[in-house]
Amino acid sequence: MAKAAEIKIADDIEYRVIGNAVGLLISSAGLLAGEMVRQRSTDYWMEDIVPLVLCLWLAYRLFRNFLSTMLLYQNMAPPVQHARSAASSIQGERVVAGQLPHKPLMSSEKVVEQVAKRIEAQKNEKIKKNAANN
């Protein structure tokens, strides 16, 4: 039985593709500023050998890494779509946007009384704790 070939793909392959693309752009800029473009002749290729080699090498690496990236995404499992939760099955009432349920508002005197009761209860709890600790 034949063994299946395993393709090893680096974890940071997207960054390699981006890095090679930027390097290719920079070396292309060097090639465009070179003597071949200025003189409009391929006779001057020896003077532009460094940008030429860089362009060819980075284009090869970009192509190879791009294919690796496409293989990686081709072999990945599709994203899991979660089933709709029970919250979506709840039917809401017909309301106008921003409508609040009707609650009777407390008067300012009642609010002050409630706050005073809470403060007194907190003070009593602190006194009981201090007495229990001593």
Asked whether residue 117 is domain-assigned, the answer is no
pTM of the entire predicted model: 0.45
Q: What is the structure's pLDDT at 132?
A: 85
- Domain range for 59 is 13-75
Structural domain contains residue 23: yes
Residue 4's identity, in one-letter code, is A
pLDDT > 70: what percent of the chain? 77
Q: Is residue 81 part of a domain?
A: no
Nearest alpha carbon to residue 69 among 129, 130, 18: 18
Q: Is 40 left (phi over 0), alpha (psi -120 to 50) or beta?
A: left
* Average pLDDT, integer, range 3-9: 60
| Distance from C-alpha of 63 to C-alpha of 20, rounded to nearest angstrom | 9
Tens of pLDDT, residues 19-28: 888 988 998 8
If one counts the domains in the chain, the total is 1
Token pair belonging to 79: 């994203």
Give the least confident one: 60-64, 68-72, 101-105: 101-105
Q: Is residue 96 part of a domain?
A: no
pLDDT at site 97? 65
User: What whole-number distance in Å separates Cα of residue 51 and Cα of residue 27?
Assistant: 5
